[in-house]
Structure 1
Amino acid sequence: MEQGQSTETIGAIATPLGSGGVGIVRLSGPKSLTVAQRLFLSARQTFEAFKPYRLHHGWVTDVHGARLDEVLVSFMPGPGSYSGEDIVEINCHGGPAVVQAVLEAVLECGVRLARPGEFTLRAYLNGRLDLTQAEAVAEMINAPTASSLRLAGSKLAGGLGRYIRDLRQRLESLRVQMCVAVDFPEEEIECLAPEELQAGLEQVLVDIEAIMANFERDRYWRDGALVVLAGRVNAGKSSLMNAILGRERAIVTPIAGTTRDYLEEQVNLSGLPVRLVDTAGLRETDDLVERAGLSRSRELLEQADLVCVVLDSSQALTADDRALLQEAPNETTLVVLNKQDLPPHTETQEAVAAQGLPTVPAVAVEADGVDALIRAVRQRLVGERQEPEQGELVPNLRQSQGLAQAREELRALYDECRNGVPYDLLSVRLETACTILSEIIGEMTPAAVLEQVFGEFCIGK
């Protein structure tokens, strides 16, 4: 799809699947108004035409004129709409059958079913959003906490796009001055001195480093963290998971090996989004299902941002406990001394202390014990940082990788400049860095990148 108005009209359900109070069917493209006029029967006898940006009450019909539902319909003409094209939204009752019937009526009028993210793709292609803003739309939809929502909102408002655009413009200015020196070497034109080029590059590099530091510092607030509860059977992992969630998610019994597969839940730890996983208890077993669960548990341990090694502090360490502690890396491990309501086992306390790993006491049956664990998890993941500041710009993984590539080009350019490499050769690296920054904001982005970005959207957005 090339930039500009599309000749196709697309339609999709814009609200989540399932029952709800309201369901929305959205259309975008040149036939949107025509389709609305064909399927809409106004409740007002004086109705003559759709007025832009207003809700019109009436009924939506099928192509044969049979009423499907009582609705509110809005018309938003392009270019002043979300996609930059004519948009119609049909607000009907939110039952699955109702919404599907309305969508089918729309499609029978020659409208094509939208692909994932196609409404936002059209907004990008029509200049309504840059690529960082388009990605922020998906981040807004998927934001699990208020903190991640604010981070996405800052990018949706265009803050990151402006920041990167400014970096590129400063590099383009240096590039123009370098080109003057290359194209007119014998003219008496004041050219950019190497010292000035180095000073300009240094400042751009400082600003790239600053925003990349935001990615590293705040990525858990934006993307969430994977926290895995690991340990031998009956150490109390499932009880702790239930206590953190505040409900009975995992089955808890005195029988060893009750959890044979892993259980995963999303949880908000005081604003920090976390994927909390309760893994199968570590032990030797001939049970094929349990062995498969143990294999998957070990994969999760390798992927985890934080591993909570849960130990029964009232019992001596087993061989499985010791093996897990030996394998645990200090930077991503928290030892949870569970069952503090029982008499402690001295050997266990001393053995854990000898490992030098950070520890936290926990009691699944007491609120204070669980709160201490939650505070310790947050401390290990984000330190003393409470929440990202209002308006802070945090790039996503794609954007951060692009910034890293631009940074490496500029670092190499800086070193080559200091070593006296001619400007005509230096300009190649500068052009490459400018191109990378342009790709981040979508001014010149390969089709494969666009397909990857918008393919992750839901249909209807």
Structure 2
Amino acid sequence: MDIIAAISTGQAATAIGIVRVSGDGCFALCDRLFRPLSGKPLSQHPARQMVYGDVLDANGALLDRGLAVRFPGPRCYTGEDCAEFHCHGSPVVLRELLTALFALGARQALPGEFTKRAFLNGQMDLTQAEAVIDLIDAETAAAAKNAVAQLDGALRRPLEQVQDALLDVTSRFYAVVDYPDEDIEDVEPAQIAAALEQSDRTLSGLLATASRGRLLKAGVRTAIVGRPNAGKSSLLNALAGYQRAIVTDIPGTTRDTVEESVLCGGVLLRLIDTAGIRETEDAVERLGVERSRAALESADLALAVVDGSADATAEDAAVQALAARCPRWIAVYSKQDLGSRDLPAADPRWANPPAAAVRLSSVTGEGIDALEDAVAALFPAGDPHQAGSLLTDARQEDAVRRARDALRRAKAALEGGMTPDAVLTDAEEALSALGELTGRTAREDIVSRIFSRFCVGK
């Protein structure tokens, strides 16, 4: 008997707390710690039906009054018998109940062990298991929709189509070779070529989503740059909704990078407020300027802030020229509550023009919505019908890329006139890479690493 148990609702006090139990024999164990007011044991109540009663501690004393529910395997999350106690969310009550479960033979569940059992029992593949942690960690509606669609199999299904096509080709070839006397239709090169071509298109389409998937999951690294006192920290505070950075009228207040995560236009931005970029003899400020330049070099998006109430300076032009080296940037003209000047023309020396030019006031909020619209246009949510098709993990991207590359080697060998058996070596390599992705052929260390990212109780 290997019954696991854990608190599934965290350690903070909440209105309701949940303790989850899973493993063969867990119903008998739960009967000893839960006394339904109906007088009938929990194990005799209908499956998936909440039952009201007394929750007992290890000594049989009343601990709480709440609900319990049982989920017989395999039609449940883990694929084996499991149950849940829904108690009042006192951490003390939950820990006492967990202690009572341990005293009766259960053990503490490891991080992600409930989901790992679901994978091992065939309830989900690795792409769906990774979607569980993505759904828990989602910080935007778009990220949550992509994760829940993957949990529903949106990523698994196209991968299975590729696997099935390759397995059909390889299995038929081996049948012809191993049973030459049987009347088995030979594998034609044209059939192999068609299967490889369709599989290549599917995998290439998935790879094309990786960049957007990374930004969806991790957020857009965004550097707020400008000369001293341009309004960078005020913009950070306006987007964050509170006084995250110190703001004064003294130029050079920000000496180091300040980071904050915000939702802007439905997009998760990892904002980095930087020190004002200018030439300075101050050693500390100079270090801050160097960090500002480094943050800009690694950013996905730059917000180049210029004091829109004053005449442009050479420092403003230098900042915008630096921002133009970023993959995407928006020109932000701040302090509109203090007045406004005409926007300067695009500088021909810029490596790329700004995606948008926005006037705003961080004090009044004027123009913030225009900035949100500009950000949303740069990072569109995509077609809602394609939710779940984004690769959001480096492991997924690597496996798909290796599979696609192996398929292309197989195509090149076939086009070069090599015999089918030579082509199949690369086709089987592609199958192996896809097996790592879905879990069919994943090594134990890869599986363990994936589930170690989970919290205890999931």
CA contact (8 A) 2:64 2:93 kept: yes
Q: Relative to 1, partners in 2 of residues 1:351 and 1:438: Cα closer, same or farther, differing over 3 Å?
A: closer
Q: Relative to 1, partners in 2 of residues 1:86 and 1:199: Cα closer, same or farther, differing over 3 Å?
A: closer
Cα shift at 1:409: 0.4
Q: Is 1:264 paired with 2:259?
A: yes
The aligned residue for residue 232 of structure 1 is: 227
Give the residue type in structure 2 aligned to 1:409.
A
Give the residue type in structure 1 aligned to 2:4.
I
Distance 2:282 2:37 in 1: 69
Q: Percent identity?
A: 37
Q: Is 1:37 paired with 2:31?
A: yes
CA contact (8 A) 1:11 1:25 kept: yes
Distance 1:291 1:111 in 2: 59
Q: Is 1:22 paired with 2:16?
A: yes
CA contact (8 A) 1:271 1:387 kept: no
Distance 1:99 1:74 in 2: 16
Q: Is 1:335 paired with 2:320?
A: no
Q: How does 1:384-403 map to 2 (within 5 A)?
A: 388-389=384-385, 391-397=387-393, 398-403=395-400
CA contact (8 A) 1:232 1:321 kept: no
After superposition, give the CA deviation of every residue in 1:327-348 in whole Å (9 maximum; x if it has no partner): 74252333323234445678x9
TM-score (norm 2): 0.87
Cα shift at 1:445: 0.7
The aligned residue for residue 407 of structure 2 is: 410
Distance 2:323 2:273 in 1: 18
Match of 1:12 among 6, 14, 38: 6
CA contact (8 A) 2:300 2:327 kept: no
Q: Which secondary structure state, in structure 2, belongs to the residue aligned with residue 360 of structure 1?
A: strand
The aligned residue for residue 378 of structure 2 is: 380
Match of 1:143 among 138, 144, 151: 138
Match of 1:433 among 430, 440, 448: 430
Cα shift at 1:224: 2.9
The aligned residue for residue 40 of structure 2 is: 47
The aligned residue for residue 4 of structure 1 is: none
Q: How does 1:60-139 map to 2 (within 5 A)?
A: 60-139=55-134
Distance 2:168 2:34 in 1: 55
Q: How does 1:267-282 map to 2 (within 5 A)?
A: 267-282=262-277
Cα shift at 1:185: 7.7
Distance 1:111 1:299 in 2: 51
Q: Relative to 1, partners in 2 of residues 1:328 and 1:240: Cα closer, same or farther, differing over 3 Å?
A: same
CA contact (8 A) 2:306 2:334 kept: yes
Q: Which secondary structure state, in structure 1, belongs to the residue aligned with residue 32 of structure 2?
A: helix
Distance 1:298 1:460 in 2: 42
Give the residue type in structure 2 aligned to 1:417.
L
Q: Which secondary structure state, in structure 2, belongs to the residue aligned with residue 163 of structure 1?
A: helix
Distance 2:180 2:228 in 1: 76
Mark the runs of 5 or more structure 1 residues left unpaired by the alignment.
1-6
CA contact (8 A) 2:406 2:429 kept: yes
Mark the runs of 5 or more structure 2 residues left unpaired by the alignment.
none
CA contact (8 A) 1:234 1:257 kept: yes
Q: Relative to 1, partners in 2 of residues 1:84 and 1:185: Cα closer, same or farther, differing over 3 Å?
A: closer
Cα shift at 1:182: 4.8
The aligned residue for residue 3 of structure 1 is: none
Report the aligned-residue RMSD: 3.0
What is the number of residues matched between the two proteins? 450
Distance 1:85 1:203 in 2: 38
Q: Relative to 1, partners in 2 of residues 1:121 and 1:296: Cα closer, same or farther, differing over 3 Å?
A: farther
Cα shift at 1:168: 0.6
